[in-house]
Amino acid sequence: MIKFRVQPVAALLLIVITALLMAITLVPNSLPRADNVPLAVLTHTVLFKFTAKASAEDVKAACARFLKLKDDCILPGKKTPYIVSMRGGQDNSPEGLQDGFTHGFVVQFHSAKDRDYYVNSDPAHQAFKESIASLVDKALVVDFDNGVY
């Protein structure tokens, strides 16, 4: 079993970000849908701490490639993307609890099965991870089922 040591600032940052992301995702999911499309049930959050050598252009390009995964990630045998929504941006919090993380993203999936495929097998996602390996000093990922506490 792998054990992780979490510094108090990082733990507080994780709690604050998770609470904010849950609040953001629960409001839209509580509204009625007219198109009868199932709502996202799983939220995947990603924070990046880029290396000091990563230029502003490198970071911007990496973020654009990450957001493009919404259209590029397709389940085998399907012709349409399976990511429900994807958004993100550069940190602008005045709290000072970022612990070096500068960019955050929220990705929503219809199911844990879709998320698991994305994380473990999707060729577009795997290629993206390889493409940013030298630019990212650290990544932090938190996933949760919407409304499950």
Collect all residues with Cβ–Cβ distance below 8 Å to 21 and sequence separation of at least 6: 43, 45, 106, 142, 144
Domain-located, residue 2 = no
Average pLDDT, the chain: 86
pLDDT reading at 79 higher than 80: yes
Question: pLDDT higher for 127 or 16?
Answer: 127
Q: Scan for tokens 């960019």, then name that residue.
A: 103
pLDDT tens for each residue of 17-49: 665 555 555 554 444 444 444 566 899 999 999
Distances (CA, A) of 24 to 20, 27, 39: 6, 6, 14
Average pLDDT over residues 114-143: 98
- Note the pLDDT of residue 23: 55
Query: At 93, which CATH number?
Result: 3.30.70.100
Q: Which of 11, 20, 7 is nearest to 92 (CA)?
A: 20
Residue 102 CB neighbours (<10 A): 15
Is the distance from CB of 70 to CB of 83 less than 8 angstroms?
A: yes
Which domain does 24 fall in, by range? Answer: 8-31+39-145
Is residue 3 in some structural domain?
A: no
| Confidence check: pLDDT of 113 > 80 | yes
Is the pLDDT at 2 greater than 60? The verdict is no
Query: Per-residue confidence at 122, pLDDT binned at 50, 70, 90?
Result: very high
Task: Give the pLDDT of residue 132.
Answer: 98
% of the chain surpassing 70 pLDDT: 73
Q: What's the total number of domains in the chain?
A: 1
